[in-house]
Structure 1
């Protein structure tokens, strides 16, 4: 290693070491990690609560999942602009408190037999809305808390835990349902939000009050700037389209998949949790691979190939038949593979997005990609319920799984596929 490279490495290690010595950063990281785990675990626990406790049909489950995902479509862009004018710590604390109370109340109602589908729909929408506020607020707060020379390392650490939680959270939700009943799993999930509340409430950083320029025209102008920036950048535009294709189809797959496990393969609740939990170890392996493979084989090659394998492995699910002793190991293998390569895609996409986006646009670019990428998930969930009711569970999973393959196809036909071993710079940078 050259002396210049050694100096850069030592400097990076020094920044990272100083970052983790900050008590406020550790509290933010711990709180954000607990919140993200709770948020993504609830995406499994709440539907399983409906399936195992209320015996809902595919159409009803599709509606429930769509209602919980609707805030992503309805609120992401507005919340992204609103949070710029509020204290991020306050928003996060209130969002955590709200989710703790809502999920805790739902768990209590389920235990005493007072939980119905209308109440669960309200719970799903409330948790989804509060999650949108938290997710946008922590990104804004990080920029206000850290000096610029620590921002890249801090953002990488925070976003890395979020990416892991996207796959590890459902695994945790499955594990909780496996070890506990669905209502007790919901109560345990509420404790994650309580943990986040306590951790973030202890942050001592004195956050400046953002400037209140309340004219609606300025709010919409900022939203428009974020949309225009993402659309104009080829890499970000492709990420948006590929993410939208994946999230729409994956939402349809999961709606049918959760019912298929219990009613198609006749797995007990504990086995369902065990199967879903297999994505967790896979996500850990994917994170380790993401630290090495892109710099060795190129970001584009890793991104496209991992998406093909991770999405394609779910196409094997409809072919599974037989007793639980046969299907459970195969399902664990499928979910482990999806977790591994799905996490590899998540981390690689995150690195590319951050690299091509200037600092001043990071928040709005993230909100725009969330809006476009996740905004179609309510419609995907409704489609999954419809397909399962009309075509059957196996056909619904096969059709929706085939739709997921549009994501690697879009990336493979774009300049993203040609990215080399080094991350690109922002356009004009």
Structure 2
């Protein structure tokens, strides 16, 4: 797999892209909180705007990905995100980067990221053999883990030490590097043959929705993912207020604390290549989700004056990163294995749509609870809500998956 130059170019590009994206996830909220003195409601709205494209565009992204070269879509989205952040950096240096501009940038980055994320998940299926998918996904998700290490730390440090425009410019550089790497992929992808009169986009979207709804494993993944993403969005909105305001952490300390998920996620990617085949996919999914989600219940007990606060935060984020990444890689292997090639993009987009479509509402809920109940109580309530995800998996046939996964259905997929 690693001898394949095109896969290495995909891996390098995806790593750089994820690094820029994770830096943005910290840069924009911290700029709003620390520089513009945004309140809980405004921060929730900012995060909701950045997540809204998941709900609005995921299904369309899936329909496009199944009909086009994923390389083309990834290159275009990298270029668009670099330009958007470059414009934000210029506006910030000129003193015009206020909340309205942050809302526009957040929406643009979110929209382009939707297309990139669906495309890179489908691209691995087109570049490697099915018996290498788990290893390929482990490598790609491992690169995302590396991005989680560097992105938040870099973004938080630059906002705190230098300025938000420079932080935005650094993310633009990473998207440019991704663009340069992915555009060098030379292999012509095998995509479904288009009919003379291709079906309308709404028909292709409906085919993806129907396929996922009829498959028990994928349907459960959708529901569990929706529960997790909704409450995780609420948790992160409260968390980004709790760390600087209740625990009195600097932007650099916040970035480093969040970056601890990265080493954990790297470990989770390595474990994902071994544990499911040893203990069973269902057992790994349920237990890892329960451990990773449950660890956030310890965060509200921390206080800023304690000498154990920062080490405890690092531990919480490390444990969360390890087990959430183990779930991510295992779920991706389940989805890709049971899905025919011609439906990969639409299946990924449908799961993103259902799973992450509620994240804007989760962010708004987090901001509301922080205002009404306070950040400490709000964090405890939203963290408890995350445990709904492993509960749904434990009560479903997904929990009974064994050490091997079923083959995709033999029913032919309609041409794109």
TM-score, normalised by the number of residues in structure 2: 0.90
Equivalent of 2:159, from 181, 184, 187? 181
Bigger drift between 259-268 and 317-326 goes to 317-326
Post-superposition CA distance 1:77-97 (Å, at most 9, x none): 112213444443332222111
1:76 aligns with 2:58: yes
Closer/same/farther in 2, CA of residues 212 and 422 from structure 1, 3 Å limit: closer
SS at match of 1:249: helix
User: Hey, what does 2:179 align to over in structure 1?
Assistant: 197
Counterparts of 1:19-418 in structure 2, within 5 Å, are 20-141=2-123, 146=127, 150-152=128-130, 155-156=133-134, 159-164=137-142, 168-181=146-159, 183=164, 184-205=166-187, 218-323=200-305, 325-418=307-400
Post-superposition CA distance 1:269-314 (Å, at most 9, x none): 1111111111111112212222222222222112111111100000
Q: Which runs of 5+ in 2 are unaligned?
A: 412-416
Bigger drift between 168-177 and 67-76 goes to 168-177
Closer/same/farther in 2, CA of residues 124 and 214 from structure 1, 3 Å limit: farther
- Cα distance in 1 between the residues matched to 2:343 and 2:68: 18
Contact 2:66 2:342 in 1 (8 A): no
Contact 2:17 2:174 in 1 (8 A): yes
User: Hey, what does 1:9 align to over in structure 2?
Assistant: none
Bigger drift between 43-52 and 418-427 goes to 418-427
TM-score, normalised by the number of residues in structure 1: 0.88
Cα root mean square deviation, aligned: 2.4
- Cα distance in 1 between the residues matched to 2:280 and 2:408: 18
Cα drift, residue 174 of structure 1? 2.1
Contact 1:243 1:373 in 2 (8 A): yes
Contact 2:73 2:119 in 1 (8 A): yes
- Cα distance in 2 between the residues matched to 1:33 and 1:271: 23
Post-superposition CA distance 1:138-185 (Å, at most 9, x none): 3455556x4xxx432665455334534555544423211344335233
SS at match of 1:180: helix
- Cα distance in 1 between the residues matched to 2:372 and 2:339: 43
Q: Which has the higher helix share?
A: 1
Closer/same/farther in 2, CA of residues 69 and 165 from structure 1, 3 Å limit: farther
- Cα distance in 1 between the residues matched to 2:370 and 2:123: 42
- Cα distance in 2 between the residues matched to 1:243 and 1:332: 25
Q: Which runs of 5+ in 1 are unaligned?
A: 1-15
